A and B are shown apart, each in its own frame.
Chain A
Amino acid sequence: MSGRRPAADARLTVDWTACEGRGVCAELLPEVLTTDPWGYPLPAGPGPDGTPRPWPRRDGLPVAPASVADARRAVRMCPRLALRLEEDARRRA
């Protein structure tokens, strides 16, 4: 799995009806995700004036090439299979 070429443009989406806020994803992908007070994933890093960075609903959360391997691992390990990583080859136009 980890031998695949890293994607230039990968985006992470969450099925919010499936996610139970276990926070496994944030543990595995700290450079991309943190957790909110209830354990649900949240974009890491500060947003506008100290507020959380908003989650990009339409396009998903961008994942830098260096983090794609970790992101794939998070997708595989989410206990609810609630995460999806869209890599550019598979992206809708």
Chain B
Amino acid sequence: MDLIAASPLWVLARATGVVLLVLLTLVLSLGVATSAGLRLARVPRFAVQLLHRDAALLALALLVVHVGTVVADGYVDVGPLAALVPFTSGYAPVWVGLGALALDLLLALVVTSLLRARLGQRAWRAVHLLAYATWPLAVVHGLGAGTDGTSPWLLGLDAACAALLLAALGVRTATRAARRAEADATAPRRPLTPAGAPR
């Protein structure tokens, strides 16, 4: 289909979808950088963490626009409820359902993170690890539900996003391995055999 024929709302929905893909990738990559305790060039660690949070909040706001435009446009049959409850959409129930699932998860991630101090580290972290499910859900949703989800340039963007995320995970693994090696260097040098006055 061509852009001219589409309504402005539909264009906005697609544009926000594409931006969301990039933004969500950034949110995850910054989260991974935070959990690795990484500094990005001169950016201090706390700022990386703040960027992570702010990108997440922005993503949530943009997601509201994304979903709002799809529902309001009426071009396809996706009601307000179908945007929140997975697999209840009239149009492409599976693909839209995956998007709804990603939305629910994102909402849960942001709400629990804002209440982290009250929830406690353990409970918060259990929820936070769902971030790794959110990203593939959103990507697959984009491939299936989008108007030109499988166009070469969008596939290319998907691949670039996946590469960025994998790179972040790779750097974190390397950082942790280096720290572990340093830790092993301080491990007990000899078996613990108490023997009274050391000689």
Contacts and interface: CB of A to CB of B under 8 A. Distances in A.
Interface of A: 18, 20-24, 27-28, 39, 75-77, 79-81
16 contacts: A20-B37, A21-B37, A22-B45, A23-B37, A24-B45, A24-B46, A27-B44, A39-B37, A77-B49, A79-B34, A79-B37, A79-B49, A81-B117, A81-B120, A81-B121, A81-B124
Contacts of B116: 81
Please classify the interface of chain B as helix (H, G, I), strand (E, B), loop, or mixed, using the class held by over half of its residues. helix
Contacts of B44: 27
A19 B107 CA distance: 28
B185 to A, nearest CB: 12
A47 B46 CA distance: 27
Contacts of B124: 81
Interface residues of B, number: 13
B173 interface: no
B150 interface: no
Contacts, number: 30
A18 B120 CA distance: 12
Contacts of A23: 37, 45
A18 B121 contact: yes
Contacts of A28: 46
B35 interface: yes
Contacts of B50: 77
A76 B117 CA distance: 7
Contacts of B120: 81
Given A23-B45, A81-B124, 12 more contacts: A18-B121, A22-B37, A23-B37, A24-B49, A27-B44, A28-B46, A75-B117, A77-B46, A77-B50, A79-B37, A79-B49, A80-B121
